Each structure stands twice: as C-alpha cells, then as structure tokens.
A and B are shown apart, each in its own frame.
Chain A
Amino acid sequence: MDPVRASAREIARAVNAREVSALEIAETMIPHAAAVDEHLGAYLTFTPDLMREHARRVDARVAAGETLPLAGVPAAIKDNMCLLGTRTTCASKILEQWIAPYTATAVGRLLAAGALPIGKTNMDEFAMGSSGENSALGKTKNPYDLDRVPGGSSAGSAAAVGGFAATISTGSDTGGSIREPAAFCNVVGFKPTYGRVSRYGLIAFASSLDQIGPFGRTVEDAALTYDAMGGHDPMDATSVDRAFETTADHLREDLRGVRVGIVKEFATSDLAPDVAAAYEAAYNDLVKLGAELVEVELPTAKYGLSTYYLIAPAECSSNLARFDGVRYGLRVDGADVGEMYEKTRAAGFGPEVKRRILIGTYALSSGYYDAYYVKAQKARTRIAADFRRAFEKCDVIASPAASAPAFTFNAKSDPYSMYLMDYYTIPVSLAGLPSLSVPCGSATPEGGARPMPLGLQLASPLFTERALLGYAHAYERATQHAAKVAPVQVVTS
C-alpha cells in the first residue's frame, strides 16, 4: 500500500490489521507533504511532532485490540478550528501568533477515531472568500494547475487532499466554502445539515450558516470522516440533539427509484458549452444508474446571493467584534482604549474582512435594520420553503457546484464577481441542507493549458446525510471521474 495514494479506508484497514504502523504512515507522509507543499502552499503550519505522538498512541491502541475507523489516516485541519497547543490563525494577521488553548470537538473526535494531525491549512481570512486569495498569510495553488486558485474558503484543505498532501481534511462551509474548492480540486467535499457537526472550537464567521464538513478523495472517505466528527455536542447549543445516522456503512451502488430534481432556474445554457456538456452528461449518468430526472422550480433561488450578502456580513460584523486587542491576538496601542480597538482592527483585518464588517454593520444599523437584515431573513424563509416544495417532487437536487472551473489568480478583482462563484451553493446553505460536491468531469477554461475538474452538487432534505452520500457514492463508483483528470507533475512525481 502506498500511504500517499491510499484511501482513508485502505489505510485504516491496514493499520487496524497491523500490516503497517501508524508511525510508518506518519514518517512517509511528513516529508512527502512538506515537499509537495513547497509548490502548493496548502499548509500554514505543519505539526510533525504532534502527528508522531498521535501515531504512537494509535499504534498502542491497535496493539491493545482496538479497531479505529480512521486508524493512522493523515488528516489536515482548516486553520479556523482549534487544535490544542498549535497556532490557529484563520489566515488573519489578527490571530497570526495565537495558540489554541483547547481542541475543537470535531477535531478531537477525528483524532479519537485514529486520524493523525498533519497540519493546519490555509484559507480565505476568517473563511470569507471563494478562491483562497483572501488569506493574509499565504498563497495556495490549485494542484491541477498552479496558475489557478484552489477555490475557497477551505482552500488549503481542498488543495492538500487533491494534491495528495493529506488523505482527508476538515473544512467549514458558510455559503459554499467546502463544495466550491472541492469542485476546483477534484475531491469530494461534504457540508452536512446545519447543526449536525459541533461548531465548538470553530472560530465563528456567520453562526447561523457555518458548518464543519469533510474533504476526501472518495465519497467513502468523506463519509468515514463525517461519521467520526458528527453528532450532538453539549458544548454547542446549536448542535442538533437527535439520533446520529452513520453513513459510510450505508453507501449504495445504484440510483434505482431515486428522483433527482433538476432546477429549472439553473439552466445549463448559462454555462460555457463544454461545462454545460459535462453537466448534461452527469445528469444522463444519473439516469443510467436508475434515477428518474424531474424538473423542480426554485423561483427564489436567484435572491440567494442578495440574502446571503446581508445575513452573513451581519453575523460576521457581530462575531468579529470580539477581536479588539484585549483578550487574545494582535494589539496595536492607542492613546485610549477606543483608539486601541480601532487601530488593532485596522492593522489586523484584511480588505475582504473589513468590507464585510462594514456591510454587516450598515445592514444592522438603526434605520436600515428592517430594510436589509430583517428583509433578508424573510427572504431566507421563502428560499427554504422553495426547497421544501421541491423535495415533494424529488429526493435529491443536482446542479453544478460552481458555474466554471478554477480561475486564474487575480481574475476576480471586483468583489461582486467573486461572490457570484457561490451562486449554486448559497441557496442550499441558506436552507441549511446537507450538500456535497463530487467530481463529474472536466473542462478546459478559456486561455487554460489543461482540463480542470468540475464538481456536481447534490443537495437533499434536512438530516438525510445517509441517503445523500449513498447517491454520490453510486455516481462516483459508476463514473470514476476523479481518476480522469491529472494533477500537475509536482504532485504526481
């Protein structure tokens, strides 16, 4: 078994069978990931000592007779999730030197399941962005074309798994931050139902939307990772207290009897011809697996962007008020405490974060609150209701994860053109639904040198993770698209 190429399932099986030790896996991955990362820039921090420590612990547990679902699996952690004793930056200057004093629930559960922490990954600052370019601490490149962005905000987590510099990783998704980079980096990215995975230890961006989820190179690996992370947590009052359904042991092989909704308003005619052709082919492949396609309507989906870009910045402006130079992170001195706050925040936050704080503060300010924030919350109600109606006619909705493959650096200089990247993912997030992106082909972008991966977004009703991952697995197994696109040579050599 090659620990670099192997799936999480294969690694865990071999470690549990004591065919290979977790420490051997770690000793192979540590130098390999560091070498590849010279080119990718997926990581902000490597944690080799911690990885070895966990590997020894896993080996001891396995030797004592335990079987661990992620035994010895190298896992990268997005840098907005706390990991005790390691730098946790949100890719922001304001937290550049901050050391987490505890471990996030989702991360702790991964490690308890036997995963090995390889490092913390780069991201758009405070998870605000769709390309990774908003990181204040590093530049992450797409493993399929180093001149292109990996997508965002979970940029490094998607690039690390897509570039074989980690086996699995954690991401967070507020408006598409797992699904869009998954599509760009040829991996599976899964956002569970809001509330399914604890947010304790996830540094908050927009609390009513933020959700942690996994990346893997296969649906099964994403499912295994989700099964390890998910479930109720008393430390997060919004984590859902209902029976947790495991998924990895319920993946299916076909789509017989499944009604797949194709959204009337998401016409493929809006896409570039080869991108449209790839999605048409994907819908046909679903039919070949036994699914029935039904047209569904989401008339309010077109209001998703406007709704999101009021609600998310409003919540961000409130959440990020805690970064004031008093209790943690950067402090810039001022003549009085007010000036200290203002200078600290001016020096610590990057342009996109400042922009969203300003939008959110404006939308929440006296005189505008009803016209913007409350209006957006009502629009959200209508968007969620549209999905509920659509799911009376279908079991799952299929659409593009993004309207185009990965773009080049600095291609989206106008903020709104960047926001448009999340056109398909945002309405799903506003409705809180479980959703994923699975590789579905490729297209060569205009001016591009090589074919770039595309992702199919699947979204299903609240709390139907098991069914959703099952559908994606059937599609992945039949099509094997991820294997048809080649990463750049620095990744394969």
Chain B
Amino acid sequence: MATERIDVRGVARLARLALSDEEVERYGAQLEDLLKHVDDLKQLDTSDVAATAQVIESRNVTRPDVITPCLAHEVVMAGAPQAQHGFFRVPKIIAEAE
C-alpha cells in the first residue's frame, strides 16, 4: 500500500471539498503519515476471512406500504438555505443551449 504520492486534489475533488494550496500540502503529508501507520494491516492474514460490514446480524426491514405521518413540507423547508415556491433553490445546473 501507500508508497506513491497521493493526488490530494483529486481526492478532494471526489469529496467536493475546495482546498487551499497550504491545505493540500498539510493534508497530503498527514494522509501519507496515516497510510504508513495503517500499512501494518498487511501483516494480518485475512485470506480466509469474510468482510464485516456490521457486527450485529441484520436483515432487510420492511413495513406495509401504507402512508404514515411524517414531517410537514414547510417544516422540512424551514432549514433550507434558499427556497422558492416550496422547492430548494440551487444555482443553475443545466447549461444554456449554444
């Protein structure tokens, strides 16, 4: 694991996180340091082991397809940074036709 230099900007782009040059430098170094530490996992034999996503046995939970009470529309919208006509307002996401 963890030998090549990490493309911190690429990772930040995947995470939708704007980083300053100073942050790229700092988090890059800290990420590499952490990856060196977690490298010890290589020594642990997991060849015949299944992955654990959750320790408690879980199964699909279903309920009858019946409408039950839920938060009112205006209650949910009250937390929106910008709303209009009962919708979340965001910057335009569709490009103008050329």
Contacts and interface: CB of A to CB of B under 8 A. Distances in A.
Interface of A: 98-99, 101-102, 193-195, 208, 234, 237-238, 240, 300, 302-303, 305-307, 309-310, 317, 321, 324-331, 333-343, 345-346, 349, 354-355, 357-359, 361-362, 365, 371-372, 374-382, 384, 415-416, 430-432, 462
Contact of A336 (B16, B18, B76, B93): B93
Given A346-B18, A431-B55, 13 more contacts: A101-B71, A102-B71, A237-B58, A305-B37, A306-B37, A327-B88, A329-B81, A336-B92, A340-B90, A345-B17, A346-B17, A362-B11, A416-B37
B40 to A, nearest CB: 6
B15 interface: yes
A224 B91 CA distance: 50
A334 B56 CA distance: 43
A358 B88 contact: no
B41 A309 contact: no
Contacts of B78: 99, 101
Given A303-B44, A372-B38, A416-B34, A358 B15 contact: yes
Contact of B54 (A208, A306, A346): A208
The 10 lowest CB-CB distance pairs between A and B, nearest first, are A432-B55, A331-B81, A377-B51, A378-B46, A346-B18, A342-B18, A328-B79, A306-B38, A237-B61, A341-B16
The dominant DSSP class at the A interface is helix
A8 to B, nearest CB: 28
Nearest to B79: A328
Nearest to A307: B41
Contacts of B82: 331
11 contacts: A194-B56, A324-B16, A342-B17, A354-B17, A359-B31, A374-B51, A379-B46, A381-B46, A381-B49, A382-B44, A431-B55
Given A326-B81, A342-B16, A361-B14, A101 B55 contact: no
Given A195-B56, A334-B91, A379-B46, A358 B31 contact: yes
B66 interface: no
Contacts of B81: 325-326, 328-331
A354 B55 contact: no
A134 B91 CA distance: 32
A255 B71 CA distance: 49
Contacts of A431: 55
A335 B58 CA distance: 44
Interface string B12-37: 10111111000100010011011001
B40 A234 contact: no
A16 B38 CA distance: 53
Contacts of A335: 91
B53 interface: yes
Interface string B49-69: 111111110100101000000
A108 B91 CA distance: 37
Given A101-B76, A329-B81, A379-B46, A345 B41 contact: no
A429 to B, nearest CB: 9
A375 B52 CA distance: 10
Nearest to B39: A306
A355 B11 CA distance: 11
A317 B88 CA distance: 23
Contacts of B91: 333-337, 339-340
Contact of A238 (B33, B41, B58): B58
Given A238-B54, A300-B44, A309-B38, A382 B11 contact: no
